Amino acid sequence: MMQGFLRSDGRKGIRNVVAVGYLVECAHHVAREIALPMRDDDVHVIGFPGCYPNEYAQRMMEQLCTHPNVGAVLLVSLGCESFNKYGLERAVRASGRPVKTLTIQATGGTRASIAEGRAWVAEHRAALDVMPTVPMDVSELVIGTVCGGSDGTSGITGNPAAGRAFDRLIAAGAACIFEETGELIGCEHIMASRAINPALGEVIEASVAKAARYYATLGYGSFAAGNADGGLSTIEEKSMGAYAKSGSSPISGLIKPGDVPPKGGLYLLDVVPDGDVRFGFPNINDNAEIAELIACGAHAVYFVTGRGSVVGSAISPVIKICANPETYRRMADDMDVDAGRILEGRATLDQVGQEIFDLTIGLGQGQRTRSEDLGHQEFILTYKSFEPLGPACLPR
């Protein structure tokens, strides 16, 4: 049985993080220095670097600061940025979490702000450390998945193994989220056939078509030189591998960053902005995708890699699934799962899928991932714009 931290909205977290959120890049250094002495004590830095406001960034910060894995929030403002810090503070306070906004210009500058911020974080970290836990069921989990540093093995071992873990979680009532539409080009008709009704299938197809148009306008797709070096030849080939991590369950809905699945099931996360191309590449690195999955409520994220990636994330633990046995042998200290055993005949897809499932339950029993042990707390948030979900996205 897992143990969770009960929040006022009824959700439960598997971590009890103090989030230190900077509201403009000018406040990033102060936020980082506040957290630095407590970086091994689940004090994580997140934030938005931009100075002019963005509705997507505001919503993302609100969802992240009220995530079930977060127990208290310190907001760090320079003072003259356009971010709606008062709205963010109200949202966090309404969630029942302790929150404070530290304004550097009003506090007296860098040193004074760091000292005041550290004192506040230390006080609330101590309070969270004695917070009791409550029983938590698998059906209360939200789990996301992403792949990065993909190679020719990713779609054969790591991604389908993650999909098998998804199938087990969904059968137990959990909500699982896969993405991204820009790496599913060519698979839209297959996904549409798995939708729980035809209207959702049409929405899925339209979301992938939007991604294809977006990348065509940019003149650059979600296919890196490292993917080619690893043996992949086209975006369609990469897409087939990325699609495999969705498993075989029916697709219950399509969501956008910040939308929390309303119930258990499998959900596709559309990460490509709506409207005209305005802000450049949709996700400039893997951690942007991880942040969006977490903003959708993901307690943990599966990260499948063939070439090798060392990143983790703030707020939610990342389980690293290595698809390539040679990469695993070279980078074992950064990996949680050796899915390359499948390629060498030392394990089956079902066995590795069960291992991933078991690791997920272990996170709710106090176990930590390799990236957590190594101190990885990467985070990035950029500008985007999205339209609200349509009625076909979340069928009743």
Q: What is the DSSP letter of 195?
A: B
Q: Which two tokens stand for residue 246?
A: 């969705």
Characterize 347-383 residue by residue with b for buried, 16 or more Cβ atoms within 10 angstroms of its Cβ, and e for exposed.
bebeebbbbbbebbbebbeeeebbbbeeebbbbbbbb
Residues 158 and 91 in one domain: no
State the Cα–Cα distance between residues 219 and 256, nearest whole angstrom.
24
What total number of domains does the chain contain? Answer: 2
From CA 356, how far away is CA 159, in angstroms rounded?
11
Q: Are strands 43-47 and 17-22 parallel, antiparallel or unpaired?
A: parallel
State whether 311 and 197 are in the same domain: yes
Q: pLDDT by residue (tens digit) across 168-225?
A: 999 999 999 999 888 888 889 999 999 999 999 999 999 999 999 998 898 876 555 5
User: pLDDT per residue over 305-320, tens digit each?
Assistant: 999 999 999 999 999 9
- Describe the chain by its helix, strand, coil percentages, rounded to 5: 40, 15, 40
Do 84 and 214 fall into the same domain?
no
For the residues 68-78, what does the mean pLDDT come to? Answer: 98
Q: What is the DSSP letter of 2?
A: E
Q: Mark whether 352 and 256 lie in a shared domain.
A: yes
Q: With 80 as the cut, is the pLDDT of residue 109 above it?
A: yes
> Does the residue 90 lie in any domain?
yes
Does 38 share its domain with 78? yes
Return d(Cα 240, Cα 251) in angstroms, integer.
Answer: 17
**What percent of the chain stands above pLDDT 90?**
86
Query: 75 and 107 share a domain?
Result: yes
Looking at residue 217, its pLDDT comes to: 92
pLDDT of residue 225: 56
**Residue 283 corresponds to which tokens in the numbers above?**
């996700």
pLDDT, residue 335, reads 98
Task: Provide the pLDDT for residue 154.
Answer: 87
pTM: 0.96
Same-domain status, 181 and 99 = no
What's the CA gap between 53 and 48, in Å, rounded? 10
Q: What is the pLDDT of residue 229?
A: 55
Examine residue 96 and state whether it is found in any structural domain, yes or no: yes
Q: Residue 378 falls within a domain, yes or no?
A: no
294 and 347 together in one domain: yes
Model confidence pLDDT, tens digit, residues 275-293 = 999 998 888 899 999 999 9
Count of other CB atoms within 10 angstroms of residue 40: 9
Domain assignment of residue 318, given as a range: 138-373
Residues 76 and 213 in one domain: no
298 inside domain: yes
For position 180, what pLDDT does the model report? 83
- Is residue 301 in a domain? yes
Query: Is there a single domain that holds both residue 205 and residue 98?
Result: no
Nearest alpha carbon to residue 302 among 183, 184, 146: 146
What tens digit of pLDDT does each residue of 216-249 get? 898 876 555 555 554 545 555 555 667 899 999 9
Distance, in Å, from the CA atom of 11 to the CA atom of 317, rounded to the nearest integer, reads 17
Predicted pLDDT at 143: 98
Residue 380 falls within a domain, yes or no?
Answer: no
Measured between alpha carbons, how far is 148 from 179 in angstroms, rounded to an integer? Answer: 12
